[in-house]
Amino acid sequence: MDVTLAKKIALVIGNSAYSEGRLANPTNDADLIASTLGDVGFKVMLRKDIKTAYKMKEIINVFTKKLKKSDIAVVYYAGHGVQYFNILS
């Protein structure tokens, strides 16, 4: 397969806004990765600061449906994987 002719998609997620503070880098990292992937021919779904698990699942489901029409796929996530209440507060 000629990679230059392949149908390429990417899901890029950057979560910086958390209830217990903001992370400095994830949304910036996501912007850079999305731009770089776009430059090499990927159709990019960029999502930032997803607020709920339901919304995350919804985004992943949309991306999953697009996989059937694609040859190459990339998923990139920046941010915390899980946040739980602060036991110190």
87 or 81: whose pLDDT is higher?
A: 81
Question: What's the confidence (pLDDT) of residue 18?
Answer: 82
- Of all residues in the chain, the percent with pLDDT exceeding 70 is 87
CA separation (Å) from 8 to 19, 64, 66, 75?
34, 13, 10, 11
Question: What's the confidence (pLDDT) of residue 3?
Answer: 66
DSSP secondary structure code for residue 85 in this structure: -
- Contact between residue 67 and residue 73 where contact means Cβ atoms under 8 Å apart: yes
- Which pLDDT tens digit goes with each residue over 5-43? 789 999 999 999 887 788 889 999 999 999 999 999 999
Task: Give the β-pairing of 21-22 and 17-18.
Answer: antiparallel
